[in-house]
Amino acid sequence: MKGPGAIGEAKQAARKAAFVRRKEAHDPARGAKACAHLLKFMDAHVGRPVSGYMPIRTEADPLSAMTEIAKYAPVGVPVIQGPGQPLLFHRWEPGCAMKEGPFGAMVPVKQTPVVPEIIILPLVAFTSDGYRLGYGGGFYDRTLEGLRARGPVVAVGFAYAAQEAENLPLEPTDQPLDAIVTEAGVRLFR
């Protein structure tokens, strides 16, 4: 396929199929197993600032892992500034006051910035070589590109194993993952 229209259409078709797989896989027990693997992965990164996310729809839920991580490191969650902008990260702590942000994701009321070195991010699909398909806004790709230009950042996809796709349509702006964590374990890519 050539041209942004063709890639966009291919990504939309891949998203549609991936949403079905994610919905079928969505299960708190699978999410708990994935959180256990995530915490083991994080043992090598104790004390480094982290960003998690507030799950929406059928995303794998990282909140129990974020609660543990918050005991020894600052944890942020993404805040959308607007279309075409990178994400900001505001500090999250268990029980902190939250409000609804863009796309229905909850964000902290208190806006204390965090610059993460580890980013735990949701996705719609991922490949065996560490690429991800998101919702199509490019927020994480822009954010990772900017953060990586300043220093090392570890991008960790958090998902269900069923979200793996054989291949995905990619663009030059698509940022790779360093690892993927699912209920099946941890896979390192870089």
Query: What's the whole-number average pLDDT of the chain?
Result: 94
Among candidate residues 95, 14, 110, 98, the one with its CA nearest the CA of residue 56: 98
pLDDT of residue 5: 78
Residue 72 φ/ψ region, left for φ over 0, alpha for ψ in the -120 to 50 degree band, beta for the rest: alpha
Residue 118, pLDDT above cutoff 70: yes
The pTM assigned to this predicted structure is 0.93
For residue 6, name the pLDDT band (cuts at 50, 70, 90).
Answer: confident
CB 107 within 8 A of CB 79: yes
pLDDT of residue 12: 93
Q: Is 1's pLDDT higher than 70? A: no
What pLDDT, on a 0 to 100 scale, did the predictor assign at position 112? 97
Q: Does domain 3-188 have CATH number 1.10.3210.10?
A: no
Q: Per-domain residue ranges for the chain?
A: 3-188
- The pLDDT of residue 4: 55
Q: What does the pLDDT look like over 21-75, one tens digit per residue?
A: 999 999 999 999 999 999 999 999 999 999 999 999 999 999 999 999 999 999 9
| Percent residues over pLDDT 90 in the chain | 91
The arithmetic mean of pLDDT across residues 84-89, rounded, is 95
The CA-atom distances, in angstroms, between 123 and each of 86, 136, 155 are 17, 10, 12
Predicted confidence at residue 184, as pLDDT, reads 98
Distance CA 122, CA 124 (A): 7
CA-based torsion, 99, 34, 81, 155: positive or negative: positive
